[in-house]
């Protein structure tokens, strides 16, 4: 029987049950083959919370899993960003998925909910080989999880890409962007491309700006102090980052309110064909009705050749999982040479392994990027990951509070210095409140 059954759950999740004949071994070299085979052949449901995974990625994985795990049921639960339940709601209902797919920025939420789980014993049990991975992968994870290994890295970080709308550049007779640009270069192009014509406000640049400029800033500037329970957003470095961001949103002709400044609405202007450039894209939203291509992500002139920091996406096994062994086998299989090669070539996931042969397959078979300037992905180097905080410090959702205050610099035309001071105060109050609980 080689069929796939799709069932829609009330929470908006998607379950794919696969039945097929296939292999049973998972994990990297040195895996305890007999134990792996036993777990891989048992019947189990393994659920994913897709905090940082697209539906197309999950569907691809589910299809490949039919051969590897013939008796497993894979269930996908969308995150709140895709209309799914919150982590708190899932924990309260006792239905938190077995696997959480996300980046390090999500670990405070997992830690607060008691969902982080040390998988060291599982790694020893199945003789999982970590030497195959990028040396920063597990090091960064331990910085973010107070020293434990809570999951297995799924994808790494390329040098960063800037997507651009070729049709708009042709329409306005402006030369295409090129590899090696700085943010100053992109700003000058954006000024030319920003104009109102035919009743449409065209944008030179739009983006999921909070992540691009702030959360994933290439300087590694943190929002919370690394050594003390206090905010760290009122600094010269944040001021430089903020000034770079603000100028793109205060160009003549642009007007924003509390709704349109929303980061998710903003980057979707590119999808609509009304914006010339963006650095953020999602495979859930790439059915574009215009010609496009890519160049390297812009850099700061003070940091030449580095546009992004290492930011690994990992598959975390939750403490509440009732199928930890099966969940571990799925996570380990996703990091196998076989799956890393397929995900790299077919789905554009940058590999987490040291294997150069796999790295050279990046986007090789990806239909979305066929004929595009793929070499742009390796034009810049990746900097070291965001530093971790001292264990035991209080965690609050500084990003959300910082973003709310930053919006005032555009919507209310507030001075950036005032905004940074205000954000510092708001975050410090939140820390004090959290510590008082």
Q: What is the pLDDT of residue 50?
A: 95
Work out the pLDDT band at 350, boundaries 50, 70, 90.
very high
Q: How large is the average pLDDT for residues 16-35? A: 44
pLDDT interval class at 35 (50, 70, 90): confident
Least Cα distance to 298 among 136, 195, 192, 164 occurs for 164
Q: Of 309, 260, 300, 291, nearest to 410 (Cα)?
A: 260
Q: Which of residues 78 and 27 earns the better pLDDT score?
A: 78
For residue 15, pLDDT beyond 90: no
How many residues are present in the chain?
Answer: 437
Q: How confident is the model at residue 289 (pLDDT cuts 50, 70, 90)?
A: very high
pLDDT at 2 over 80: no
Question: Are 334 and 170 contacting, i.e. CB atoms less than 8 angstroms apart?
Answer: no
Query: What is the DSSP secondary structure assignment for residue 212, as one 8-state letter?
Result: I
Which residue bears the tokens 């830690």? Answer: 111
What digits encode the pLDDT tens for the residues 167-210? Answer: 999 999 999 999 999 999 999 999 999 999 999 999 999 999 99
Sequential DSSP letters for 342-372: HHHHHH-PPP-B--HHHHTTTTTT-GGGTTS
Phi, psi of 49, rounded to the nearest 5 degrees: -100, 115
Cα–Cα distances in Å, from 136 out to 93, 133, 215, 219, 420?
36, 8, 19, 17, 31
Entry pTM: 0.80
In the three-class reduction of DSSP (H, G, I as helix; E, B as strand; rest coil), residue 126 is classed as: coil
- pLDDT at res. 384: 83
What pLDDT is recorded for position 173? 98
Give percent of the chain with pLDDT exceeding 70: 92
Residue with the bigger pLDDT between 4 and 41: it is 41
Highest mean pLDDT among 67-71, 142-146, 282-286, 422-426: 422-426
Distance of CA 87 to the CA centre of its chain: 17
* pLDDT score, position 64: 97
pLDDT at 128 over 80: yes
CATH number of the domain at 4-157+310-364, please?
Answer: 3.40.190.10
**DSSP bridge pairs for 45:** 73
Mean pLDDT computed over every residue of the chain: 90
Cα gap 214→239, rounded to integer Å: 11
Burial of 28 (0-12, 13-18, 19+ CB in 10 A): buried
Nearest in space to 352 (alpha carbons), one of 45, 129, 136, 42: 136
- Nearest Cα to Cα of residue 335 among 200, 154, 205: 154
Residue 32 confidence (pLDDT): 59
The domain ranges of the chain are: 4-157+310-364, 173-309+389-436
Name the band, by pLDDT with cuts 50, 70 and 90, for residue 31: very low
Tell me the CATH architecture of domain 173-309+389-436.
3-Layer(aba) Sandwich (3.40)
In three-state secondary structure terms, 195 is: strand
Of 316, 324, 395, the closest CA to residue 115 belongs to: 316
């Amino acid at each position: 029987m080689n069929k796939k059954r799709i069932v829609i759950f009330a929470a908006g999740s998607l379950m794919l049950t696969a039945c097929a004949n296939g292999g049973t071994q998972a994990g990297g070299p040195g895996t305890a083959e007999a134990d792996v085979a036993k777990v891989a052949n048992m019947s189990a449901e393994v659920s994913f919370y897709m905090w940082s995974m697209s539906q197309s990625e999950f569907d691809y994985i589910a299809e490949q899993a039919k051969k590897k795990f013939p008796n497993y049921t894979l269930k996908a639960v969308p995150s709140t960003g895709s209309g799914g339940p919150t982590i708190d709601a899932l924990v309260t209902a006792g239905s938190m998925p077995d696997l959480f797919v996300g980046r390090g920025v999500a670990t405070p939420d997992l830690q607060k909910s008691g969902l982080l789980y040390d998988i060291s014993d599982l790694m020893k049990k199945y003789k999982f080989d970590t030497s195959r991975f990028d040396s920063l992968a597990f090091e960064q994870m331990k910085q973010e999880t107070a020293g434990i290994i809570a999951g297995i890295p799924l994808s790494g970080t390329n040098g960063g890409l800037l997507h651009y709308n070729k049709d708009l550049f042709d329409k306005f007779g402006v030369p295409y962007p090129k590899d090696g640009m700085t943010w100053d270069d992109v700003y000058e192009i954006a000024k030319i491309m920003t104009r109102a014509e035919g009743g449409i406000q065209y944008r030179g640049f739009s983006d999921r700006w909070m992540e691009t400029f702030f959360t994933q800033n290439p300087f590694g500037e943190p929002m919370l102090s690394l050594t003390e329970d206090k905010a760290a957003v009122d600094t010269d470095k944040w001021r430089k980052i903020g000034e770079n961001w603000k100028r793109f949103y205060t160009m003549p002709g642009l007007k924003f309110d509390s709704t349109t400044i929303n980061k998710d609405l903003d980057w979707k202007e590119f999808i609509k064909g009304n914006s010339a450039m963006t650095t953020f894209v999602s495979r859930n939203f790439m059915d574009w009705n215009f010609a496009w291509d890519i160049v390297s992500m812009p850099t700061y002139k003070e940091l030449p050749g580095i546009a992004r920091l290492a930011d690994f996406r990992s598959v975390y096994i939750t403490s509440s999982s009732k199928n930890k062994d099966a969940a571990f086998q799925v996570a380990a299989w996703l990091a196998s040479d076989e799956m890393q090669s397929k995900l790299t070539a077919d789905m554009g996931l940058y590999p987490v392994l040291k294997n150069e042969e796999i790295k050279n397959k990046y986007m090789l078979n990806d239909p979305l990027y066929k004929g595009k300037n793929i070499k742009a992905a390796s034009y810049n180097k990746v900097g070291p990951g965001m530093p971790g905080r001292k264990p035991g410090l209080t965690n609050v959702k500084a990003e959300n509070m910082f973003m709310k205050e930053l919006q005032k610099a555009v919507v209310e035309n507030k001075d950036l210095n005032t905004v940074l001071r205000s954000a510092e105060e708001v975050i410090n109050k939140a820390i004090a409140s959290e510590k008082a609980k």
